[in-house]
Amino acid sequence: MSIPLMKIIEIDSDAALAAAVAELERRGLDAPGAADKEAAVRGIVDAVRDGGDAAVAEFTQKFDGVALSPAQFEVSKEEIAAARAKVDPALYATLEKARDNIRRFHEKNLRQSWEEVDADGTILGQRFTPLPSAGVYVPGGKAFYPSSVLMNIVPAVVAGVPEIVMVSPPSYEGGIHPLVLAAAEIAGATRVFRVGGAQAIAALAYGTDTIPAVATITGPGNIFVTLAKRFVSGVCAIDKEAGPSEVIVIADESTSPTMAAVELLAQGEHEEEAQAVLIATSRAKVDAIFAACEKEMETLSRAAIIRTAFSTCGIAFVVRSLEDAAALTNAYAPEHLALQVQDPRALFDQIDHAGCCILGEGTSVACGDYFVGPNHILPTARSARFASPLTADDFRKVTSVISCSPERMAKDADDIIRFAEAEAFTAHARAVEVRR
């Protein structure tokens, strides 16, 4: 009998389900060894805060093996134009189509400022305004991600952010991959810097003589980038602390083993820590999907990475029903959820926590990762219980508007004074009393 690709857990009783749910609910954000890295990252962040460009250059040399003077940090317009010329025209056109899809999607959920005037003349409302600047982190170590460029920058453009600064490590011939630079131009970045890692996050937060400080930092990265974002989150906003990428694929007896397999494989190829989870209604279906995975891996360039991810982080659950599957999913709160079942809409109604849900086996997670419009920057590590995908509204802030009429002040004064006095804030009470 062959060794399964990932650990298999059979849910054959209510007690087994409860135990599995409890285990999944203990999942945390921090990767193994994160605590050991905190001191190192704190040292980098503090060094950049105090040393500015010199510290950024030192850490770029140390961690990326690239010697750059501060004058070389920024990528010039001429370099970006040269990079664009290296990109296949058909691929460039694909990036433009993806940008347009992402823009249309995010324009639809952009909230608008509003005010309402009561009959007595009282005005209440909210004003939405763009943040003055945004910093976008684009990874560049193990692979290059023009999709992350679009997913970070286009919502900021939709929000109206006037200054969008992109940073990415100099991991391609001492600079940034031409495709990433082309995507930055297409998306609307205003400035681009060839610096990465925790030092880039610190530079964006505190500012240096060369790299401007920004109001928010978005974008995924490794554990060093994630910890740096945590440390600077009191200085500027951050989108979220991203953990390893995740997918749950739910399969019933109607599911094509190949369709389920390719989604698990696509998740596994991200990195060795990627978390691919299969939930199926029979052991036979699990075995069939594993067999399809083996067949598909014969042609995949990152098969070794997938095998490691499956064996170290993957789980296959065999459940009694789709109700069990929903319970496990809500406990896991996955980044991506693929409902490859006969009636995905009915199952979706039972799902409370997921960053992005794919309905039916006819659609791939990759549609959202690259092209159709929703953001692929999603909550991970159970944060889908309280967090949402990145949107244009993450690049805006809200100002409340209040103007009480004399009639409204007279009507509400006793209640407000009573409230203030209950908290022993007599100056608050007096501020209302003098206006009565």
Active site residues: 335-336
Would you call 3 helix, strand, or coil by DSSP?
A: coil
Amino acid identity at 274: A
**Residue closest to 260 by CA, chosen among 300, 306, 296, 307:** 296
Instruction: Count CB neighbours of 84 within 10 A.
Output: 17
**Residue 393 and residue 110 in contact, taking contact as beta carbons nearer than 8 Å:** yes
Tokens of 226: 């994630």
Measured CA to CA in angstroms, residue 315 lies from 145, 224, 402 at distances of 27, 26, 53
**Residue closest to 1 by CA, chosen among 291, 256, 251, 261:** 291
Helix (H) or strand (E) holding 192: strand 191-193
Measured CA to CA in angstroms, residue 92 lies from 182, 184, 258 at distances of 8, 12, 31
The contacts of residue 344 (CB under 8 Å, 6+ apart) are 359, 360
Amino acid identity at 211: I
Tell me the chain's radius of gyration from C-alpha atoms.
25
Q: β-strand 163-167 against 191-193: which pairing, if any?
A: parallel
Measured CA to CA in angstroms, residue 28 lies from 24, 218, 258, 355, 383 at distances of 9, 21, 31, 16, 9
Q: At what angle do helices 257-268 and 283-297 cross, to 10 degrees?
A: 60
Tokens of 167: 């940073």
